[in-house]
C-alpha cells in the first residue's frame, strides 16, 4: 500500500544536479532506464520512503507513465511506500540465516523494540522488516540497518548493536566475529 501525502516533491538543488548526471549515463530516448537510481535518490531525500508525489515527480522527470514508476517501486523491496524509522532494520530470514538464528534476532526485535515485522517503534527510531537474501550467506545470520551490513550475529551482538543505536553511538559494521571480508583491506 502506498502512503498518501499532500506535499509536493522536487529534487533538492544537489539532488537535481545528481539526477541530471544519472540520466546522462543512458542513451537518448532511454532515460526511463534511470528509474531505479532516481527512485533511490527520491527515497533518500524523503527520509527513507517514497511518497506518491516523489514517484509522480520521477515519472514526469523521466517522461514515462506514472504507472510504470509505481510498478517498479512496488516490485522492488528496497523501496518503502510508507514512512520508516531513523534506523531501518532489515533482518534476513532466508534459509542460511534462518538456520543460523535469524528467528532469534526477530524475537529480540519483538522483545526489545516492542514491534512486529513491518512496524515502526512509537518514537520513530526503528522500523523492523523481514527481507530475503542480503547476499552474505557465509556470514549468516546477518542484518542490514540502513545501508550498513552486520554479519555473523549472535543475539548478544545484535542486542549490543540495537543498544548502541538507541544511545546514538556509532556501531562497527561488518562481521561481529571480526572476519575480514577482503584480506587485502588491512585494519578492518
For the domain made up of 87-175, give the CATH fold.
Glutaredoxin (3.40.30)
Residue 188 is predicted with a pLDDT of 47
Whose grid coordinates read 529480540?
A: 108
Tens digit of pLDDT at every position of the chain (188 positions) = 555 555 799 999 999 999 999 999 999 999 999 999 999 999 999 999 999 999 999 999 999 999 999 999 999 989 999 999 999 999 999 999 999 999 999 999 999 999 999 999 999 999 999 998 999 899 999 999 999 999 999 999 999 999 999 999 999 999 998 887 665 655 54
Tens digits of residue pLDDT in 101-133: 999 999 999 999 999 999 999 999 999 999 989
Query: Which of 87, 71, 96, 101 minimizes the C-alpha distance to 163?
Result: 87
Helix (H, G, I), strand (E, B) or coil at 32: helix
Write down the domain spans for the chain.
Answer: 13-75, 87-175
Q: Across the chain, how many H-helices and E-strands are there?
A: 7, 6
- Distances in Å between the alpha carbon of 73 and those of 5, 85, 111, 145, 158? 16, 19, 31, 20, 30
C-alpha cell at 166: 538507541
Distance (Å, whole) CA 58 – CA 106: 34
Instruction: Judge whether 85 and 129 are in contact, CB under 8 Å.
Output: no
Distance (Å, whole) CA 146 – CA 129: 11
Distance (Å, whole) CA 89 – CA 158: 11
Amino acid at each position: 500500500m502506498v502512503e498518501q501525502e499532500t506535499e509536493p516533491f522536487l529534487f533538492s538543488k544537489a539532488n537535481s544536479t545528481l539526477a541530471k548526471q544519472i540520466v546522462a549515463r543512458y542513451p537518448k530516448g532511454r532515460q526511463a532506464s534511470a528509474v531505479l537510481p532516481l527512485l533511490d535518490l527520491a527515497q533518500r531525500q524523503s527520509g527513507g520512503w517514497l511518497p506518491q508525489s516523489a514517484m509522480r515527480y520521477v515519472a514526469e522527470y523521466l517522461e514515462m507513465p506514472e504507472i510504470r514508476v509505481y510498478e517498479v517501486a512496488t516490485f522492488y523491496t528496497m523501496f518503502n511506500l510508507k514512512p520508516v524509522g531513523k534506523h531501518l532494520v532489515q533482518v534476513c530470514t532466508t534459509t542460511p540465516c534462518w538456520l543460523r538464528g535469524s528467528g532469534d534476532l526477530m524475537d529480540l526485535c519483538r522483545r526489545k523494540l516492542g514491534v512486529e515485522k513491518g512496524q515502526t517503534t512509537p518514537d520513530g527510531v526503528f522500523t523492523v522488516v523481514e527481507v530475503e537474501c542480503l547476499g552474505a550467506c557465509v556470514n549468516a545470520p546477518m542484518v542490514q540497518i540502513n545501508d550498513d551490513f552486520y554479519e555473523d550475529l549472535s543475539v548478544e551482538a545484535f542486542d549490543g548493536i540495537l543498544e548502541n543505536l538507541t544511545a546514538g553511538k556509532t556501531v562497527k559494521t561488518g562481521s561481529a566475529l571480526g572476519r575480514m571480508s577482503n584480506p587485502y583491506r588491512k585494519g578492518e
